[in-house]
Structure 1
Amino acid sequence: MAFSIHILPSSDAIAALVLLGLGSFTKGLLSPLRTVPGPFLARFTRLWEIHAVRSRDFATYNIALHKKYGSIVRLAPNRYSLNDADAGKWILGHKTGLDKSNFYYPFGFVDTPNLFSETSNATHAKLRRPIAQVYSTTNLLHYEPFVDTCTAILIKRLDEYAREGKQLPVRELMQYYAFDVIGAITTGSRFGLLEENGDKSGIIEALDEGLDYSAIVGLIPVVHWWISKVVDLLGIKLSFIRMIDFINLHLNNRVSGRSKSPLGCQDFVDKMLQSEQDGKATRTHTFIACAQNIAAGSDTTAISLSSVIAHLCIYPEAMTKLRQELDEARKDGRLSDPATFQEAQKLPYLQAVIYEALRVHPAVGVPLTRVVGKAGAHLAGQYFPPGTEVGVNAWVIHNNEHIFGPDASQFRPERWLSEDSAERAALERNFLSFGIGPRTCIGKNISLLEMLKVIPQIVMGFDFELQRDERSGERYTWRTSFFTKQSFCCLVRKRSR
């Protein structure tokens, strides 16, 4: 009997639970957001969004939710997705940009936030300032030899697929390429994934596991601290520690003089160590820059390169126009082999293809969520009280027909070549593939450098033919956890002229 008394709730406990439930119910009834539509369970629990992320492709599902419910959709009791151009600019913009929500907390260590996981814009600015210069457009020219070396290996690999007639898993190979490039640019050392045609070290798998964890735990971020403490207590070595070991190895080798950049060019480590000597940065800043590159630099570029290849296959008229521009530039001496960054920047259709591929398939497929400040906010005709989580998803905004036109779901590079300056400005304001405002992706220029240099080499040298998946019958599919990673194969042939 004594045991039963201890496990049964007391009358005081029952009363407390009832009062708590009534308090939550009353708060919901009185909330200015009580009329915001959305899935029924999303009004009461965050578990609905967790289930949606795990069971569906959330990038496309988020679009469907807005088509059903309108410009504002409830995703959780205090979390909302918005499909509105003005709201997106206000949430993310330079002048009015809000601090990040705690969704980003699990994307970093508990006690050491990084550029991505830091929620405060003010603190983020302090972290970013000492390393921003190594990402500048001026420094991009120093990284070109690293890109060219990896591109030459990629071309050899594509030659092999063409000779052997094997189906090419495009996104996987593009990730090997992007990973080797970012490794070379960052530490002067490739990971060797292109040579191996695989991830024998398991570093990509480790990063995928970390992203899957963060994408789910970010929806209930309070548990991240507890999970981290349990992992530490049990002495479990997480898989992404391999990435940290890789960075520390190269940093220590460079500092001790055991290694140097192999191409006679300054890589990220060289530039950051020089900043340390000049008193402009610390070793922590150097580590953050290297980790940021490797953790995020391959996925985003690989997804974007894959989108270019797939959509040029699906829309052959765009491939024809791009090849015409590239062939004429090569014939006129305006395009080297390999292409230089400055040459590629002067090719308008090439740039339009890249921006359109990034628009129709952004690398990130979840809302970029922020927290409404003390003054509250009026967004999309709705008042949001302080502390509300609001966000915009690039997939949703990029499919908004009021912004990108009735063909918003179609791949049409010509939209970026409009002579109407106001129309072009509206497209650029709502282009969210790299984010906008103070939290714009710091590696944006590096990703564009890789794409502008490698796409001419691929397009001018090879033909690609999308293949249907035997089970699904689809030619081009993707799946979202945080990134929207594609799954598709192509037959590759040497280009027929």
Structure 2
Amino acid sequence: MLGVLSLAYQTLDWRTVAIGVPAIVVLVHFLSWLIDPHGIRKIPGPLIAKFSDIWLGIVSKNGHRSEVVHQMHQKYGTFVRIAPNHVSIAEPDALGIVYAHGNGALKSDFYDAFVSIRRGVFNTRDRNEHARKRKIVSHIFSQKSVVEFEPQIRVYVGLLIEQWDRLCGLAAKGMSGSDGEGGWKGEGGRLWLDCLPWANYLAFDIVGDLAFGGPFGMLQNAKDSALVPVNQQAAMNSYGGKTSVDVVEIPAVKILNGRGEYSMSMGVLPLWWRPFVKHLPWYSKGQKDVKTLAGIAIMAVARRLSLPTDRVDLLSKLQDGRDNDGNPMGREELTAEALTLLIAGSDTTSNSTCAILYYLARDRRAQDKLHKELDEQLSAEDLTVATGPQVKNLPYMDACINESLRLHSTSALGLPRVVPEGGLTIDDHYFPPGTVLSVPSFSIHRDKRIWGDDVDDFRPERWFEQNQADIQKTFNPFSIGPRACVGRNLAYLELQLIIASIMRRYDIVLESPDQKLETREGFLRKPLGCKIGIKRRDCL
């Protein structure tokens, strides 16, 4: 037999292979379209997307998936076929069907591309395993637990303001410098800087303290920096700090961005493509980012567990958590969940903070109204940083936050779900089991039936004027159902404290009136920067 194979190999016509293999691939994709096992052939969409995942793969890699899919919905309508077995549905009513409790829909194999140390609560696809993990994790984000974290959040918001006040003082003297990425300068009575790096420093230091017992030091040093072990396995084994571990310094924010783009792009490709695609240069670099980011969590957990402490933080609550059988998380699982907290707790907050400041800086009328509300509600006490009780009664600020999250949904793409046994019916369209469906937040946040004809305008007043039932049904910054973001209470409190404190203290403007909020999308939709001019307000 081996002799026959050897002879076949030697006489193989490579020109035939060069033609034959692509032909077979094309034929397989065409036959899948022709057989139409999921009954979606008549659903419109880009031509290539009907036959191959390559269309969505290229769109995802280019970093503007949500915008492109939205353009397809504007062209084709509510239902758009964006891959051979993936239908995007731009219909608010579909949210409660695709992502509902008890509907049996599971996460698709898209989430396999996000597995690093091991599966965590975010990328676990098995329903029973997810229920076990969520039971352990969700209690740490209850409203009661979140209140306990407020003092730690306020420390770092105060440190950000301390840094900006320092730079404002230097800017008043006409000085400039390189603190923070992009530098800063004093001109026209204002401090000019890029607020995105500072939002990143703030979010990373907050999550570092809450999840790992100490900040990364980014705010203090005005630098994107974190430590990772040279040998990750050695760090994982250094329980109790008995083993010293060599470390290196890396740019954590940059690594996080690369990891998000890689996982997003890899996740939309078929499973059988992934082992081959990962060897391409761009994807190979993304793999390194995945490993490096995991190293940040491994290092931070090892450091935290090596220091005896009775402080209450996210990691201690994870350690105390138990599943239905009374079992705690093991070291590896604990680290995987800590990595999830690091990613979800830093990127989302920094992206959203930057977007909110952009829209307020662009809209003088809205900023003036917010300043008025803050002065009326917070002027009784001369505090640098707002408190939890103070931000609970700021309806216009909440409207500004929500309107920013509508226009800049940091999680803007449609999260894919596999239709369960029995199928799902949406707007008279029946989808059989196994079909992948998603509802893009970017698109439903721009549905004129819900938000009005001025959907592209930043107008916080719509949160008081329009049908609130429709708005609440459509607004989807944290997803819904059993797989919704477990940390949404903490995330919203952070945004309230950050925005109230910054806007109470400063007046902000954009560097130029026509400045756009440029973005790039990995798994999350990230601003690429936001140059603003700030100055201390006279009222303070």
The TM tier, using the shorter chain, reads 0.7 to 0.9
Aligned-partner residue type, residue 376 of structure 1? G
* Corresponding letter in the other structure for 2:378: R
Q: Does 1:219 align with 2:261?
A: no
Q: From 179, 185, 188, give the equivalent of 2:213.
A: 188
Report the equivalent of 1:120.
Answer: 126
For the structure 1 residues 274 and 295, does the alpha-carbon distance in structure 2 shift closer, same or farther, using more than 3 Å as the test?
A: same
Instruction: Mark the CA change 1:274 to 1:76 in structure 2 (over 3 Å): closer, same or farther.
Output: closer
Conserved? CA contact 1:72–1:380, under 8 Å? no
User: What's the offset of the Cα at 1:318?
Assistant: 1.3
Q: Does structure 2 conserve the Cα–Cα contact (< 8 Å) formed by 1:339 and 1:457?
A: yes
Q: How many residues align?
A: 479
Amino acid in structure 2 at the alignment position of 1:387: G
One-letter identity of the residue aligned with 1:266: V
Q: CA deviation at 1:239?
A: 3.8
Mapping for residues 417-496 of structure 1, pairs under 5 Å: 417-418=464-465, 423-468=467-512, 474-486=515-527, 487-496=529-538
Q: Determine the structure 2 residue equivalent to 1:269.
A: 315
Structure 1 residue 44 displacement after superposition:
1.2
Query: Does 2:452 align with 1:405?
Result: yes
Q: Secondary structure at the match of 2:131?
A: helix
Contact 1:114 1:288 in 2 (8 A): yes
Distance 2:397 2:27 in 1: 62
Match of 2:197 in 1: 172
**Relative to 1, partners in 2 of residues 1:221 and 1:336: Cα closer, same or farther, differing over 3 Å?**
farther
- Paired residue type of 1:104: Y
1:457 aligned counterpart, secondary structure:
helix
What runs of 5+ residues in structure 2 fail to find an aligned partner?
1-6, 172-185, 226-249
Letter in 1 for 2:363: Y
Q: Deviations over 1:421-476 (max 9, x none)?
A: xx21221122111111111111111111211112111001112111249xxx7432
Percent identical among aligned pairs is 28
Q: 3-state SS of the aligned residue for 2:152? A: helix
CA distance in 1 between partners of 2:219 and 2:115 (Å): 28
Report the Cα offset of residue 398 of structure 1.
Answer: 0.4
Which amino acid counterpart does residue 272 of structure 1 have in structure 2? L
Offset from partner CA, 1:335-369 (integer Å, 9 cap, x none): 95422223212221122211111111110232211
Secondary structure of 2:288's counterpart equals coil
Tell me the distance in 1 between the aligned counterparts of 2:535 and 2:303. 42
For the residue of structure 2 that corresponds to 1:81, the secondary structure is: strand
Q: CA deviation at 1:400?
A: 0.7
Distance in 2 separating the partners of 1:159 and 1:331:
19
Asked whether the 8 Å contact 2:104–2:420 carries over to 1, the reply is no
Task: Identify which of 150, 153, 168 aligns with 1:144.
Answer: 150
Aligned to 2:356: 308
2:54 is matched with which residue? 47
Q: Aligned letter for 1:439?
A: R
Give the Cα separation in 1 of the matches to 2:90 and 2:202. Answer: 34
Moved more, 392-401 or 403-412: 403-412
- After TM superposition, give the deviation of residue 45 of structure 1 in Å: 1.2
Q: Which letter does structure 1 place at the counterpart of 2:501?
A: Q
Mapped to 1, the partners of 2:25 and 2:111 lie a distance apart of: 31
- TM-score, length of structure 2 as denominator length: 0.81
1:209 partner amino acid = G
Q: Is the 8 A contact 1:345 1:351 kept in 2?
A: no
Task: Give distance in 2, aligned partners of 1:476 and 1:74.
Answer: 29
8 Å CA contact 1:186, 1:269 repeated in 2 = yes
Partner of residue 252, structure 2: 203
Find the aligned partners of 2:508 and 2:374 in 1 and give their Cα distance.
17
1:130 pairs with 2:136: yes
User: Which digits, 9 at most, give the CA deviation of each residue in 1:237-272, with x for residues without a partner?
Assistant: 93444444443444444444x3436xxx41112223
Task: Specify whether residues 9 and 21 from structure 1 end up closer, same or farther in structure 2 by C-alpha distance, changes over 3 A only.
Answer: farther
Q: What corresponds to 2:247 in structure 1? A: none
Q: Distance in 2 between the 1:223 and 1:287 partners?
A: 29
Going from structure 1 to structure 2, the CA distance change for 1:49 and 1:119 (only over 3 Å counts) comes to same
SS of aligned partner of 1:491? strand
1:99 to 2:106 alignment = yes
Provide the residue aligned with 2:240 in structure 1. none
Letter in structure 1 aligned against 2:42: T
Q: How far 1:88 moved relative to its partner?
A: 1.8
Question: What secondary structure does 1:168 align onto?
Answer: strand
> How big is each residue's C-alpha offset from its partner over 1:103-153, in whole Å with a ceiling of 9 and x where there is no partner?
1110113x8321111123443121111121111110112211211111111
Residue matched to 2:35 = 27
Q: Determine the C-alpha separation between the residues in 2 that align with 1:18 and 1:437.
A: 38
From 74, 83, 97, the counterpart of 2:81: 74
Contact 2:257 2:522 in 1 (8 A): no
* 1:121–1:356 distance in 2 versus 1, CA, 3 Å: farther
Contact 1:71 1:84 in 2 (8 A): yes
CA contact (8 A) 1:130 1:285 kept: no
Q: Secondary structure of the equivalent of 1:222?
A: coil
Question: Once the two structures are superposed, what CA deviation does each residue of 1:131-190 show, in whole Å capped at 9, x if it has no partner?
Answer: 211111101122112111111110022224433225311122101110101111112210
Q: Structure 1's 229 and 72: CA in aligned 2 closer, same or farther, altered over 3 A?
A: closer
Relative to structure 2, which stretch is displaced further, 482-491 or 114-123?
Answer: 114-123
Q: Report the equivalent of 1:339.
A: 386
Q: Deviation above 6 Å: which 4+ runs of structure 1?
A: 13-19, 227-231
